[in-house]
Amino acid sequence: MTTAIRMTPEHPLYVAALGLRFQAVKEHGNIKPCNLKTFETCFTVFRNKLQFWFNDPTGSTRLLSEEIPSSLNLQEVGHGG
């Protein structure tokens, strides 16, 4: 099950989200949110991974993901498992 999450500074995965966004800029340059969203709404959780969806400068949709640390409870990050 994939769960959309709103990434705010209070969220337990906020630091990981910033890291994914930084990685996206480093790899692709000027990125934009998908589907006229804001960056804070471009994150999903799938299984044990935080996923960041964005558009690269050509308009292609890209995905970066990072494993959620096992020390975090998936219920806490907005995903039922």
Question: Can you give the pTM of this predicted structure?
Answer: 0.86
- Where do the DSSP E strands lie in the chain? 2-5, 43-46, 49-55, 61-67
Domain parsing of the chain, residue ranges: 2-67
Helix (H) / strand (E) containing 21 = helix 14-28
pLDDT at 78: 57
Q: Tell me the pLDDT tens digit for each residue of 20-55.
A: 999 999 999 999 999 878 999 999 999 899 999 999
> Which residue, 36, 54, 44, 34, is CA-closest to 7?
44
Residue found under tokens 């705010």: 8
